Structure 1
Amino acid sequence: MFKQLIPIALIAVCTPALAAEPMVVQVKRLSLDTALKIAQGSIAACREKGIQIGVTVVDRDGTVQVTLRDTIAAPITVPISEQKARTAVNFNAATSAMKDRANSPIGRIDGLVMSAGGVPILVGGSALAGGVGVSGAPAGETDEECALAGVAKVQEDLDLAM
């Protein structure tokens, strides 16, 4: 009889822990309009500096929502901006913070770019909503400035949406 009670006792002990886990997780996503505003804000910021860029906004999973290439930006700016955005989302960090890892095994994974120009899009300062990547400026730091300017166009509205 004692052997029969052991499984019942284990179930009783484990059930509360399992019940505490939600069966469904709600995820906030950027709307298309918000992603487009970020991309347009990034292009506008770089145009003010006289620079033509490519910009990509991805959702929290790294799936492209918006890609824009300014009129005379080089075609290569599109795939680089996408890779920067995807890298920022995967590591939840600005790609400029990862430049020391660029020559490491993780930095050599196809599809990742660990040079400045990619930033995560955060809601409420911590909830990852997506990422934006910019490519085309003479320096990655300028790419990052333009990406941050694009996010700044919607940051207050994003924080209020939390």
Structure 2
Amino acid sequence: MRLVSSYLSTALMALVVLGSASNVMAAKPTVAKPSLILQQPNVSLALANELIDATMAVCHAEGKSAVVAVVDRAGNLIALQRDDSVGPHNTDAAVRKAYTALSTKTPSRLLANNARANPDSSNLNTVHDLLLIGGGVPLKFGNEVIGAIAVGGSGGAMQDESCALKGIEKVLPTQK
């Protein structure tokens, strides 16, 4: 009798567990409000590599060596390529210029010019990770900034920016 009682207790417990599980499965799932979930375009590794290849090709066609960096919309480094002859400081500069262009949604050369011309903005050079030197350009998808690209070491801020803009034009020709 005790054995039967033990089996009945186990069977009853199993029914309770199954019943509870089916109630949980039958309950409506909680759905977050669509306005709370972000769906944002971003730079992929494939896009970053295409941009870098195109930009390096432009620099090389002009007889210039360079380092090119691409960051995503959060400022994370996605890809980087450096020619053998480019100084190591240019690598850090390219990453920081890309971050600056992304963070401010402004080409880094324009930001540098504005900071020099406007006393209220002159302290931007004290903000950690911003680098007020030309060569960084925001990447846009429609009206959204999805990342940034920057060139360093190609022969000055104007040359760096020119290589970046020509590289973007080859891969994302609708961006201005």
Corresponding position of 2:129 = 111
Structure 2 counterpart SS, 1:153: helix
TM-score by length of 2: 0.73
Corresponding position of 1:34 = 47
Count of aligned positions: 139
2:74 to 32, 44, 61: 61
Corresponding position of 2:169 = 152
Q: Contact (CA 8 Å) 2:138, 2:148: kept in 1 or not?
A: yes
TM-score by length of 1: 0.79
Structure 1 runs of 4+ off > 4 angstroms?
none
1:135 to 152, 155, 159: 152
2:93 equivalent to 1:80: yes
Q: CA RMSD in A?
A: 2.1
Structure 2 counterpart SS, 1:106: helix
User: Based on CA coordinates, which of the two structures has the bigger radius of gyration?
Assistant: 2
Gap regions ≥5 residues in structure 2: 1-32
- Amino acid of the residue matched to residue 155 of structure 1? L
Q: Contact (CA 8 Å) 2:41, 2:141: kept in 1 or not?
A: no
CA–CA separation in structure 2 for the residues paired with 1:88 and 1:104: 17
Q: 1:33 offset after TM fit, Å?
A: 0.9
Q: Contact (CA 8 Å) 2:65, 2:153: kept in 1 or not?
A: yes
Between 70-79 and 52-61, report the one with greater CA deviation. Answer: 70-79
Fraction of identical pairs, as percent: 28
Give CA-to-partner distance per residue, 1:126-156, whole Å, 9 cap, x none. Answer: 2111000110022201100111122122214
CA–CA separation in structure 2 for the residues paired with 1:150 and 1:77: 18
Corresponding position of 1:45 = 58
Q: 1:71 offset after TM fit, Å?
A: 2.2
Q: Contact (CA 8 Å) 1:55, 1:77: kept in 2 or not?
A: no
CA–CA separation in structure 1 for the residues paired with 2:74 and 2:168: 18
